[in-house]
Structure 1
Amino acid sequence: MKKKLTIAAMGLAIAFTSFTFGGGSAFADSKMDQVIQDTKGTSYRSGGTTLDGFDCSGFTMYVYQKLGIKLPHQSGSQFKMGSSVSRDEMRPGDLVFFNTTGRGISHVGIFMGEGKFAHSSSSRGVVVSSLNENYYANRYVGAKRIMSTDAYHAVASETPDDDNVE
């Protein structure tokens, strides 16, 4: 047991030192990245929707609300929105969904690119994790695109696409 805890603690230390919300993000310097950066260090709180604490869907709801997009406060309800996107078509800002309980959609995060997603973990609060970590890879259900291409260029891409700027 002690060995497992030591390994887990070392893994968390490596994760926190090797990835920062800003510079390591695939959409660094975007409006979405700034909003996510502002949530760094926020603890998990069941039902939480503010910087006082977030649950997973409260976190995604908060980030999207700051970008002018309303989401419901429940991961299953968020999964019913938008259009399905395959893993190889995902772009930063897409929502990623997981079945962590064995009873359907129970966790949601925001894809950041480069195989990473931001989410509010019940054990660690707001963190960035890899979709390839065994825990998430084995529970991944799918991704949904909530933002239109124009909204994406406005808030989630590093530099706006000149063709979409009015």
Structure 2
Amino acid sequence: MSFERQALTGSREENERILLSQLKSLIEDEPSRIANLANASALLNVYLTDINWVGFYLLQEGELVLGPFQGLPACVRIALGRGVCGTAAQKRETIRVEDVHQFPGHIACDAASNSEIVVPLYAKDELIGVLDIDSPLKGRFTEEDQRLLEKFVRVLADYL
């Protein structure tokens, strides 16, 4: 399959449609969870601006373990309840952090990161991990970004 980068120059709704359509086309015929997560992180890395890390942590034996990602090397294991990722997984809710340096227990894998969003990832109603995205900009992630990323992981979950 060939991937063609499409410019996101339309309305927010049109850009969202393009992104979700690209995701579906990348993963719909692939049974490998790892391959689909790898392509999903690569797709977000192409489409999102002002980010420095995007990827997945997968729940394994009660802790989050680094999965497919785009960016600098990262922390390999995160305990539930620790940092933004572990907290989002434990609470099973999306967490947006405007300034990670103000988040109690933040885990600094990349010193350039200043804001973060973490979205729980489910497969068949079971938590399997989180989508984690970092930005060097404070306050980078909006409510609209959160809604889009929650839709993105719901589409992704249909194929995991």
Structure (1 or 2) with the greater strand fraction? 2
- TM-score, normalised to structure 1's length? 0.32
- TM-score, normalised to structure 2's length? 0.33
